[in-house]
Amino acid sequence: MKSLKQDKDSTVEQAVWHLYMIRLESGHLYTGITTDVERRLAEHRAGKGAKYLRGKGRLDLVFRQRVGDHSSALKLELQIKKMAKREKEALIKGSPLR
């Protein structure tokens, strides 16, 4: 018999993950991953979730990409977080990931 944790872990792995970027009022970009972009954006706007975004003013979703599994999403998130802002801006404008 599986434990609740095992059931939750397998559900997380089976879900389709997305990478997203939010532009803050200051122009900074925040990168995250989720299985539901609209829900996560609503949470950020409500001041829930990432502490970094709390009290930062208007939050605009500027990029989203379906990634696949959780592991792939985590790897891509790390890759993008290491990019320079100009590279992130190019990605937002439609340049493909390298």
Q: What domains can be seen in the chain, in order of their start residue?
A: 4-92 (3.40.1440)
* pLDDT greater than 60 at residue 49: yes
Task: Return the pLDDT at 3.
Answer: 52
Say what the pTM is.
0.82
CA dist., res. 80 & res. 22, Å (int): 13
Task: Return the pLDDT at 78.
Answer: 97
* pLDDT greater than 90 at residue 97: no
CA dist., res. 80 & res. 62, Å (int): 14
Long-range Cβ pairs for the range 12-15 (8 Å, 24+): 12/70, 13/69, 13/70, 13/71, 15/70
